[in-house]
């Protein structure tokens, strides 16, 4: 059985990897945790678009997919 939980701390230059992890998780049913999203507040609009696009896809994704976000207040 492969790895089904991915966590990553966000910061400069990891946008593409985070997007790839989310897309893979959506298709394959992984759990993805993005930590420190407060460090990339400008990227949150892009994250919203990614999630909107995934939810509007025909056929949807794997129902086991979970996305967790953490941030400092």
The dihedral through the CA atoms of 57, 63, 64, 69 has a sign that is positive
CA 29 centroid distance within chain:
12
Q: Domain range spanning residue 28?
A: 5-69
Helix runs in the chain, H state only: 15-28, 44-56
**What domain count does the chain have?**
1
pLDDT digits (tens, 9 = 90+) for 36-49: 999 998 999 999 99
Written as six digits, the tokens of 21 are 């992890």
pTM: 0.87
Residue that the structure tokens 């230059």 belong to:
13
CA separation for the pair 13, 21 (Å, rounded): 14
pLDDT digits (tens, 9 = 90+) for 23-37: 999 999 999 999 999
CATH number of the CATH domain containing 43: 3.40.50.300
């Amino acid at each position: 059985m492969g790895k089904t939980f991915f966590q990553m701390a966000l910061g400069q230059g990891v946008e593409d990897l985070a997007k790839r992890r989310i897309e893979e998780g959506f298709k394959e049913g992984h759990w993805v945790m993005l930590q420190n999203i407060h460090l990339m507040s400008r990227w949150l609009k892009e994250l919203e678009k990614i999630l909107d696009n995934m939810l509007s896809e025909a056929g949807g994704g794997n129902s086991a997919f979970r996305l967790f976000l953490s941030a400092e207040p």
